[in-house]
Amino acid sequence: MTKTIAILGAGAWGTTLANLARVNGHEVRLWSRQGDLSLEDVVKNAEIVLSAISMKGVQDVALLVKSCQVSPHTIFVTATKGLDAKTTRTPSQIWQTEFPDHSVVVLSGPNLSQEISQGLPAATVVASKNTAAAQVVQQIFSSGRFRVYTNSDPVGVELGGTLKNVMAIASGVCDGLHLGTNAKAALVTRGLTEIIRIGKVLGAKTETFYGLSGLGDLLATCNSPLSRNYQVGYQLASGKTLTEILASLPGTAEGVNTCQVLMQISQQQNITMPITEQVYRLLETQVTPKQALDELMLRDTKPEYHQ
């Protein structure tokens, strides 16, 4: 059945998701700050409101939507991969707080938008506490080129997509320094362990991180020059400053902000995050890429815990 869908954020990801829904015959209205359509008109009578806004704009946009007329049956979908700098909340927690009586669905997976726009095959996950709402979103986006799975752990799915961005920066550094395949395998594997350790404290289920939105997105983003986060790390390794890199980067690299938020969480909750800490110190110019590598390699010896 044809659905009316409001997509907020007309960047790389919002535009790609809009096209996937349009190809499946849905009526899509795309909103951005610079566009001609008013937010009020875009969300009015929309059965789905999907946000693909960068993390820094999510809270403000959620409040703007709250001031509009929204149907009581509207399902909110969030596709943002980040953490709020002030409150450390995830995007789905922000939408659910502002719309406590509505279903909220997280959409996240190994989804480099450029490949999907080219028509290359990909899979993703839609997760919600409300299974029926996740199934509605699954039907909207599923096609022969985009395979959509449901999941009942929205926070786990969301954190998989968010936390891997920090590991993608680290992987870009690893490749930029030409450290080799063994080093990259060690980094990504220990990165997953670190993601699981943080994710469990933040309320995710461990097994979710072994799925598409966890390991799947970690592999995609840590291995692709199409990832903006990977590019940040790669270019830092080549000696550019963060300011120079961000000035020429096409779109948002959420891992930079996420890394800062994770450092707050690690200090508050006493969680060991060695890779995140070295990425943070590198972004803050407290260490060089080579020093960050040495710090990680020369940590105290220990057994190989997986969590």
Ligand X SMILES: O=C(CO)COP(=O)(O)O
Ligand Y SMILES: NC(=O)C1=CN([C@@H]2O[C@H](COP(=O)(O)OP(=O)(O)OC[C@H]3O[C@@H](n4cnc5c(N)ncnc54)[C@H](O)[C@@H]3O)[C@@H](O)[C@H]2O)C=CC1
What residues line the site for ligand X (CB under 6 A)?
A: 81, 110-112, 161, 165, 168, 217, 220-221, 227-229, 254
Report the residue from 55, 126, 163, 236 that binds ligand Y according to the rule CB under 6 A. 55
Q: Site residues for ligand Y, window 82-121 (CB under 6 A)?
A: 82, 111-113
Site string for ligand Y, 248-287 (x = CB under 6 A): ---xx-x---------------------------------
60 known member of a binding site: no
Q: How many residues sit close enough to ligand Y to count as binding (CB under 6 A)?
A: 26
Residue 168 binds which of ligand X, ligand Y, none (CB < 5-8 A, kind-dependent): ligand X
Q: Does 13 bind ligand Y (CB under 6 A)?
A: yes
Q: Burial level of 2, CB count in 10 A (0-12/13-18/19+)?
A: exposed
89 known member of a binding site: no
- Residue 50 or 293: the one with the smaller Cβ distance to ligand Y is 50
- Residue 46 or 195: the one with the smaller Cβ distance to ligand X is 195
- Residue 33 or 306: the one with the smaller Cβ distance to ligand Y is 33
Angle, CA 248 vertex, CA 245 and CA 249 arms, to 5°: 80
| Biggest CA pair distance of the chain | 59
Separation CA 248–CA 262 (nearest Å) = 25
- Angle at which helices 154-176 and 181-201 pack, to 10 degrees? 150
- Residue 116 or 196: the one with the smaller Cβ distance to ligand Y is 116
Separation CA 119–CA 145 (nearest Å) = 7
Q: Does 56 bind ligand Y (CB under 6 A)?
A: yes
Q: Which residue is nearest to ligand Y (CB)?
A: 11
109 known member of a binding site: yes
Separation CA 136–CA 217 (nearest Å) = 23
| Nearest distance, CB of residue 53 and ligand X, angstroms | 13
Report the residue from 2, 25, 27, 33 that binds ligand Y according to the rule CB under 6 A. 33
Binding piece for ligand Y, criterion CB under 6 A, among 79-87, 180-188, 207-215, 240-248? 79-87
Q: Which residues bind ligand Y (CB under 6 A)?
A: 9-14, 32-33, 52-57, 60-61, 79-82, 111-113, 251-252, 254
Which residues are documented as binding site for sn-glycerol 3-phosphate? 81, 109, 164, 217, 227-229
